Structure 1
Amino acid sequence: MSRGRRAVAAACASLLALLLAGCWDRRELNELGISMAMGIDRAGDQYEVTVQVVQPGEVTQKDGQSGRAPVTVYKASGATLFEALRRMTNDSPRKIYSSHLRFAIFGEEAARQGIGDALDLLSRDNELRTDFYLLVAKGTTAENVLDILTPMEKIPANKVYRSIDMSERNGGFTAAVSLDEFISVYVSDGKEPTVGGVEVAGSDEAGRFRENVKTIRPAARILNAGLAVFREDKLVGWLNEAESRGYNIVVGNVKKAVDHVACPQGGNVALEWVDSTSKLRGSVRNGAPRLKVDVRVEENIGEVQCALDLNRSSDIRELERRAEQRVEELARQAVEAMQKTYGSDVFGFGEAIHRSDPRAWRSLKKDWEEAFKSARVDVKATVKIRRSGTIVDSMRKKKGE
């Protein structure tokens, strides 16, 4: 056989192999229920699993002409999560397909009992990708969150996903943590996991009806609720908005944000973060851990409510000094909350010690939780103001106030 014929034969064989391999598990789209979000709750020794499934005809319908909701939810219980998911076939006319999952959310009670078993299922199922977010429902069940219809986004799962993503990137008020990222921290030494939290504001019951999205002020909304703090696989508490931002400052997650500092003569100056970096360092002296955080921030001036002279370098430096104090204050709030309230090293200071002094870390590792609580943590911030916008003088300075 000539070389050309052999090449053609090889190509045909390869194509045939691809066709045979690619079709054996094919499923028709009209046989699948596309799940966008999964909720996990506990009831005694049973798992309760809720999935939010898209109703394709309603998503493409203009202005909800049919009157039906764009999504529906299915719920089932079982001794294991795997059983609960399979039992949904008793109710759903289609196989629940979860490859497009936006997030998996745990009810607060389920998260406090531990999510290790759920992590096993979520990472073992070959139908699931591992880049979806993990969340905790603050003060409520996962089912209640998935029942709420939302304005702006027809599919509520998309609203939650985008809100978490936007809040992390443009404010540092929460954290967008994927399954992969959570597991990576969970199995490591010297760092504990965190995930974003959401809560239902308003009436759970009213949020289940289409009327919730037909009014200027919905009766129920899904809001971001700061950060959920874990120790191993169990929820131990929550960080508020300021502490959540402080956490993100320490770990270097804040790229864009808005904050303010007080003017020396009264009023405020709004500052926009345009970039930031953070470095964590750990060392051990005489058996005691010493921890350092070095934060560098670049900011622009967004609004001036006083008669500062922005042409004067001393006034700019005073703003930078006050901004540095503000950054350090937020970071220390988060560190103190972890040390005094939760004893959970969510920052990765243990990892920093491990990198710098593996031998010292081996002696600290076993009792790191206690050592972390009493460790000295120094925070240093450096702020540089780059731009003042399209005008230099404030309106008050122009008026001579």
Structure 2
Amino acid sequence: MILFLAWPLASGCWNRREMNELAIVGAMGIDKAGDQKVVTTQIIDPGQVAAKQSKTVQTPVMTYQEKGNTIFQAVRRMSTETARELYFSHLRVLVIGEELAREGIGEILDVFSRDQEVRPDFFIVVAKDAKAENVLKVLTGLEDIPANKLFSSLETSEKMWAPSMTVTLDKLISDTASDGVQPHLTGLLMTGSMRKGENQANVQEISQDVRLKYNGIAVFKDDKLISWMNESNSKAVNYVLGNVRGTVEEVPCSAGKRKIALEVIRMKSNMGVKVANGLPRGTVQVHVEANIGEVQCKVKLMKSKTIEDVETRANEQLKKNIEEAIKTVQEQYKIDIFGFGEALHRSNPVYWKKVKNNWDEKFATMPVHIKTDVQIRRVGTIGKSPMEKLD
């Protein structure tokens, strides 16, 4: 009887594995080679991470690579080389090569959504003009583990610089499966020679030869990459989506080429679609609160009229940027990456049922009314700028 009662407790550890028996995958890259998939994993070496004070020059990570007809096959084939079972629960970043992204990422979403060991909170990005395998071989500064650098850099960039956005597995699957919005991912750009990036010397000098930086938004139709958005349009898209957590906006001075820099501290947006005379009409409302961050011209910031003038120019600039981004998406890409279709589905499900099969065509010609409201909250720790007394 005692053994019978104890059995449920013992069975709870049937799949227990020791950490020294596992190869912890911090980042993963997927490319294509002909009809096959190329999978690259960045494996963390806990011993080297713990031994930071050691005089050895061994890197804290190693990369392994295999090909397969399927992603699953390539991953399992790595066991012939790694000597440990691959462990994906600590995956931070998945990098997709641009060539594969243009062919389609449906298989990637399938294999990751089926694996119960994979947590869906890792970030997914596209290697811009590069293969994912080359990106994962670059050693990075500040962070010992490149996977952690890629993860934290994207988090910080989204928080401080609006053109970047974090997209997790759950979000990407949701956008891909939805009829009313098309998916999009942040691009990852590698600058410099790949060969130099693989060497320890890349992080031993004050200036790195090879760097990784996030750049632009990859626009998808269904599961296929179709184009890239530039920085200005990427930022405007995030304003529409309400994704801007912080950024900098530059407003032209009343005369000359100088600027006033505004620090965006918070914002919110509201998107809607109404049907008039049988046709959809979109609306976007964006509310922004900002502080004065820098002044390059002679302005009297202590006067309310000056602040009102800056707010007016900021509103005009923001509205123009959003209009240009929406126009670019409608005319060049002809797809809805904003989610106007989802908004229409919520507000008018009967009409949505009629147009959902050709919604992207409807969206491409849909007029969108934009209203912006920029309010300046603070001018900084000084009222009068030193620029007031300078020629």
What TM-score, normalized by structure 1, do the two folds share? 0.94
Q: Where does structure 1 lack aligned partners over 5 or more consecutive residues?
A: 1-11
Q: Does 1:222 align with 2:212?
A: yes
Corresponding residue number in structure 1 for 2:255: 265
Corresponding residue number in structure 1 for 2:224: 234
Amino acid at match of 1:273: V
- Structure 1: distance between partners of 2:266 and 2:170: 26
Shift of 1:153: 0.6
Amino acid at match of 2:276: R
Select which of 47, 69, 72 maps to 1:82.
72
Select which of 44, 52, 59 maps to 1:69.
59
SS in 1 for 2:272: strand
Q: Does 1:58 align with 2:48?
A: yes
- Structure 2: distance between partners of 1:196 and 1:15: 53
Q: Does 1:171 align with 2:161?
A: yes
1:64–1:377 Cα change, 3 Å: farther
1:306–1:38 Cα change, 3 Å: same
**4+ runs deviating over 3 angstroms:** 12-19
The residue correspondences of 1:115-194 to structure 2 (distance < 5 A) are 115-194=105-184
Q: Does 1:373 align with 2:364?
A: yes
Alignment RMSD (CA, Å): 1.6
Shift of 1:17: 5.7
Select which of 242, 267, 288 maps to 1:297.
288
Corresponding residue number in structure 2 for 1:281: 272
- Structure 2: distance between partners of 1:195 and 1:15: 51
SS in 1 for 2:308: helix
Corresponding residue number in structure 2 for 1:308: 299
Select which of 344, 347, 364 maps to 1:356.
347
- Structure 2: distance between partners of 1:14 and 1:60: 43
Corresponding residue number in structure 2 for 1:3: none
Q: Deviations over 1:293-345 (max 9, x none)?
A: 10000010111122211122111111001111121122122212211111121
Q: Where does structure 2 lack aligned partners over 5 or more consecutive residues?
A: none
Corresponding residue number in structure 2 for 1:383: 374
Percent of aligned positions with the same letter in both sequences? 44
Shift of 1:377: 1.2
Shift of 1:63: 5.1
Amino acid at match of 2:18: E
Amino acid at match of 2:378: R
Shift of 1:64: 5.8
Moved more, 62-71 or 15-24: 15-24
SS in 2 for 1:205: helix
Corresponding residue number in structure 1 for 2:94: 104
Aligned residues: 389
Moved more, 265-274 or 62-71: 62-71
